[in-house]
Structure 1
């Protein structure tokens, strides 16, 4: 039984792309739509990874502010 405030070691860690807008953009692109994503991401590896993932699906990322 865990105690309140106890530190517990994790066994794994993972991240995934997603979010309502990104999921819809990828789905539309997979169906053949021309998609432009508008938004902002952080100036870190996660922000760049999201942009790279959208580009993988031929989604225009010109309007994503970093």
Structure 2
């Protein structure tokens, strides 16, 4: 059980360890956003934004 919890915490800290993902998460806390809207402030591709979003989703 402890190993399972450690895996979950690792995922959360990995996701939140990236400044781009933290800013995306703040934007999502304000309301729904499209991938394009999340990518725009960073001038990153939609594919890159999708990878960030997947990391956040994986962390729950």
| TM beyond 0.5 | no
TM score, norm. by length of structure 1: 0.33
Larger radius of gyration, structure 1 or 2? 1
Bigger strand fraction:
1
TM score, norm. by length of structure 2: 0.35
- Determine which structure has greater relative contact order: mean sequence separation of CA pairs < 8 Å that are 6+ residues apart, divided by chain length: 2
